[in-house]
Amino acid sequence: MVPFGLYLHIPFCIHKCGYCDFNSHPMGDTDTRPYVEALTGEIESRSRGVEQEITSIFFGGGTPTTLEASQLTGLLTALRRNFSLSADCEITLEANPGTVRPDYLPRLREAGFNRISIGVQSFDPGELRLLERIHTPDEVEQTVHRARGAGFDNLSLDLMFALPGQTLQRWLENLDRALALEPEHLSCYNLTIEPNTAFQITFDAGQLVLPDEDLQLEMYRRTIETLTRRGYNRYEISNYAQPGRQCRHNRLYWLNGDHLGLGAGASSYVNGVRSRNIKSPARYTQAVTSGHNPAEFSERLDTRQAMGEHLMLGLRLKEGVDLDGFESRYRVGLASVFGDTLNRLLAQNLVTLDGGHLALTEDGLFLADSVILEFIS
Ligand code: SF4
């Protein structure tokens, strides 16, 4: 079956974290009902013409768990009514530990959500305050226990390292606290200072000092070493999973598969056409409610662009890019288009051609962003 995914964007958060550049908005006393109604309307209109079976659904944000359980289950019901979901469809919910009440998760599990991704970032109270997270370490543990109690047997934790003032020891303690909760999946990203965030202003003023490059690299290496020893497979640059527990939805992105993004600012890629919805939740809601197409941007990629994107995404996966798959999709061999780049990177030992795949080497993985850029510049 050819995978096809749906992404639903819930743009509300209790508080905007200082480092965050996602399309997320402090909700205050916002009435979320009009947005959810608009999203339901978009589900109905965009489902027309989609014949494929849906193999994964991802409710992301923002903070999806700012919605009432009944709103989330209502959206899932609308998806079931309008799309054909595969019997084993992966249905992920992103959850913020500061928003999950005791009776919340059982209702979602019962409705069909079968994977939960919990935004932890750190187990250190000082680091959580610095990141402006709204939850405590205890609430993380409580949320994991509640998720397990509700029957979620596919659980992921998001962590962040290379935080200002963080030592190697403190990062490894965070990792240990996460491992003690026995998640099936872990995402470990290093903090980056994104443009137009509160952190950028403090960083530019010299008030936020990140660990130096050597320490960041050591944190990265020790993460790989620790998680590999504990039975997790690093299947993507920043993602680790127990056997059979890779995130199907994110794999679809990295494999450059078709997906429909619904909600404010959500991106889609279907049949070679890339599009993106209006970013502002209020303007998105107004557009859908008044019967307009909420897409503010749409383009058909030419073959060269599509091939570049395919490599850019696929090389993030440890297994790399399947050469036969590439050739059958674009009707041309990868080497005949990217021969010069390929030979240069092979000579530098940054990529390998092995088992019918082009993949980054260990050295290439450490320099992933710049190596990948070589294929698209
Ligand atoms: S909770 Fe997540 S999406 Fe919301 S502001 Fe914080 S980092 Fe951004």
Lookup result for tokens 């993004």: 261
**Residue 158 bridge partners (DSSP):** 119, 187
Distances (CA, A) of 315 to 22, 309, 353: 23, 10, 12
- For ligand 1, atom 8: residue with the closest CA: 20
Q: Is it the case that residue 377 has pLDDT exceeding 80?
A: no
Q: Atom of ligand 1 at shortest distance to CA of 19?
A: 7
Ligand 1 environment, Cβ below 6 A: 13, 16-17, 20, 22, 24, 61-63, 96, 119
Question: Which pLDDT score is estimated for 68?
Answer: 97
CA–centroid distance, residue 63 to ligand 1 (Å): 7
- Provide CB contacts within 8 A for 281, sequence distance 6+: 11, 12, 25, 35, 264
- For 303-371, give the CATH class: mainly alpha
14-42: per-residue pLDDT in tens? 999 999 999 999 999 999 999 999 999 99
CA–centroid distance, residue 17 to ligand 1 (Å): 5
Q: Domain 5-254 adopts which CATH fold?
A: TIM Barrel (3.20.20)
Average pLDDT over residues 43-56: 95
270-315: per-residue pLDDT in tens? 999 999 999 999 999 999 999 999 999 999 999 988 999 999 999 9
Question: Which pLDDT score is estimated for 187?
Answer: 98
How buried is 321 (Cβ within 10 angstroms: 0-12 exposed, 13-18 middle, 19+ buried)? buried
- For ligand 1, atom 5: residue with the closest CA: 16
238-256: per-residue pLDDT in tens? 999 999 999 999 999 999 9
Dihedral angle computed from the Cα positions of residues 362, 314, 322 and 183, in that order, rounded to the nearest 10 degrees: 70
- For ligand 1, atom 7: residue with the closest CA: 20
Yes or no: say if 304 and 323 are a contact pair by the CB < 8 Å rule.
no
Question: Which pLDDT score is estimated for 248?
Answer: 98
Q: Atom of ligand 1 at shortest distance to CA of 24?
A: 3
Question: Which pLDDT score is estimated for 223?
Answer: 97
| Residue 209 confidence class, pLDDT cut points 50, 70, 90 | very high
Question: Which pLDDT score is estimated for 375?
Answer: 86
Closest CA to 118 of 148, 140, 89: 140
How far apart are alpha carbons 201 and 142 in whole angstroms? 34
Question: Which pLDDT score is estimated for 206?
Answer: 93
Question: Which pLDDT score is estimated for 109?
Answer: 98
How far apart are alpha carbons 228 and 226 in whole angstroms? 6
- What is the domain partition of the chain in residue ranges? 5-254, 303-371
Lookup result for tokens 């997906």: 259
- For ligand 1, atom 2: residue with the closest CA: 62
CA–centroid distance, residue 26 to ligand 1 (Å): 9
- For ligand 1, atom 3: residue with the closest CA: 62
Question: Which pLDDT score is estimated for 366?
Answer: 86
Which amino acid, one-letter code, is at 220?
Y
| Residue 204 confidence class, pLDDT cut points 50, 70, 90 | very high
CA–centroid distance, residue 25 to ligand 1 (Å): 8
Average pLDDT over residues 77-104: 96
Q: Atom of ligand 1 at shortest distance to CA of 26?
A: 5
Count of all residues that appear for the chain in the document: 377
CA 235 distance to own-chain centroid: 14
Yes or no: say if 206 and 200 are a contact pair by the CB < 8 Å rule.
no
How far apart are alpha carbons 222 and 310 in whole angstroms? 30
User: Secondary structure of the chain in the HEC alphabet?
Assistant: CCCCEEEEEECEECCCCCCCCCCCEECCCCCCHHHHHHHHHHHHHHHCCCCCCEEEEEEEECCHHHCCHHHHHHHHHHHHHHCCEEEEEEEEEEECHHHCCCCHHHHHHHHCCCEEEEEEECCCHHHHHHHCCCCCHHHHHHHHHHHHHHCCCCEEEEEEECCCCCCHHHHHHHHHHHHHCCCCEEEEEECCCCCCCHHHHHHHCCCCCCCCHHHHHHHHHHHHHHHHHCCCEEEECCEEECCCCCCHHHHHHHCCCCEEEECCCCEEEECCEEEEECCCHHHHHHHHHCCCCCEEEEEECCHHHHHHHHHHHHCCECCCEEHHHHHHHHCCCHHHHHHHHHHHHHHCCCEEEECCEEEECHHHHHCHHHHHHHHHC
Mutating to test ligand 1, I would choose from 15, 17, 117, 158 the residue with most ligand atoms within 8 A of its C-beta, which is 17
More confident residue, 267 or 305: 267
Q: Atom of ligand 1 at shortest distance to CA of 15?
A: 5
Average pLDDT over residues 80-89: 98
Mutating to test ligand 1, I would choose from 24, 118, 122 the residue with most ligand atoms within 8 A of its C-beta, which is 24
Q: At what angle do helices 104-111 and 69-82 cross, to 10 degrees?
A: 10
Q: Is it the case that residue 258 has pLDDT exceeding 80?
A: yes
- Average pLDDT of the chain? 96
Q: Is it the case that residue 208 has pLDDT exceeding 80?
A: yes
Q: What share of the chain in percent tops pLDDT 90? A: 95
